[in-house]
Amino acid sequence: MIEEAITKKLDVKFLLSSSNTIRIADLGCAVGPNTFDAMQSIIDVIKLKYQTQVLPASPMPEFQVFFNDQPANDFNTLFKSMPPKREYFAAAVPGSFYGRLFPDSSLHVVYSSYALHWLSKVPEDLEDKNSPAWNRGKIHHASAGEEVLRAYAGQWADDLSSFLNARAREIVPGGIVVIVTHSIPDGMEYSELANGMMYNCMASILLDIAKRGLITEEQVDAFNLPTYAASPGEFVSVVENNEYFNIVTMGESNPSPWLTDDVHVDMNEFVSHIRAAMEGMFSKHFSREIVNEMFEQLEARLSEISVEMESAYKDKIQAFYVLQRNDSG
């Protein structure tokens, strides 16, 4: 559906009226290889559209791809693994995508996959011990009170608005934004999702460690993961309040169709991936020994609820959105 939306809505002839170069950006690219597959897929769609919309004998446009992530991202690994026969010029652009990254009207297509669920910061109310949103005994809004959930939701909405406002300056009129992200079905509690179960297990392990006197409960209360999976309804609401973009198409899907009654999650591998993604955040707040113990215990805890987790992973917890930059605004 993403390819269909780009094919239908991207006016290649118009976009190339002022330049013979199509510029694409992957925001939150990490270190590959998924980013390379995504960029090539987008280029293939544009090339096909170009051949049908422009005279077949016309020379194919050139492509420039910008790979963006936080400055700490391992761009060396990214570029070392880059396809040698790629069809584009490549460049790295370090920085937060919640702010400006590119000149005005310089991009034609923006892509972001599994990045916009990361918040720009922990909601401020969660860091105030006297706030109703002080997240006692939790490390996330899963199973937390309404005040905590509102703080997370508010921060996410502010961040998405900042993202859209920055992209509105950088994308040419008629340009496309493709977003693939963690999601939650409208009306579902986050604690029913596999990630919610995992965050609750993490908090439980840390509280058990606190009972042994190795850390304090207040240390657990003060730690919160800066991640939020918004429902489609929340996403649509933010976009509709933004004057720069229209939603071309959207949808939800099961991110793990390979999970069947005969194929199960390898918890050791799963925890290894989670640790690689999150260990740095825990290490800023807890000692190396505490972090090691938490992840060592996590595999056993998750194995005890593996049936529930696998069932939750079969829900439609992945969403995609294709937005188009308005011609005015």
Identify the H or E element spanning 213.
none
Q: What is the pLDDT of residue 51?
A: 85
pLDDT digit string (tens) for 41-59?
999 999 988 888 776 677 8
Q: What is the pLDDT of residue 60?
A: 87
Extended beta strands in the chain, E state: 21-27, 62-69, 89-94, 107-113, 171-182, 245-253, 318-325
> Which tokens hold the place of 6?
């780009």
- Give yes or no for a contact between 40 and 76, defined as CB atoms under 8 angstroms apart: no
Instruction: For residues 219 and 211, give the distance between their C-alpha atoms in angstroms, rounded to a whole number.
Output: 12
Q: What is the pLDDT of residue 316?
A: 65
Sign of the Cα torsion 40, 46, 48, 50 reads negative
Cα angle 55, 58, 59 (rounded to 5 degrees) comes to: 150
Q: What is the pLDDT of residue 14?
A: 78
Q: What is the pLDDT of residue 258?
A: 45
Give 171's strand partners.
107
- Domains of the chain, with CATH numbers? 96-325 (3.40.50)
Give this prediction's pTM: 0.92
Q: Strands 318-325, 107-113: parallel, antiparallel or unpaired by DSSP?
A: unpaired
| In the block, residue with structure tokens 């188009």 | 324
pLDDT digit string (tens) for 301-315?
999 988 888 777 656
pLDDT digit string (tens) for 229-271?
999 999 999 999 998 999 999 998 765 554 455 556 788 888 9
Q: What is the pLDDT of residue 19?
A: 82
Q: What is the pLDDT of residue 186?
A: 86
Digitized pLDDT (tens) for each residue of the chain, 329 residues in all = 778 888 888 888 877 777 889 999 999 999 878 999 999 999 999 998 888 877 667 788 999 999 999 999 999 999 999 999 999 999 999 999 999 999 999 999 999 999 999 999 999 999 999 999 999 999 999 999 999 999 999 999 999 999 999 999 999 999 999 999 999 988 889 998 889 999 999 999 999 999 999 999 999 999 999 999 999 999 999 999 998 999 999 998 765 554 455 556 788 888 998 999 999 999 999 999 999 999 999 999 999 988 888 777 656 688 999 999 987 65
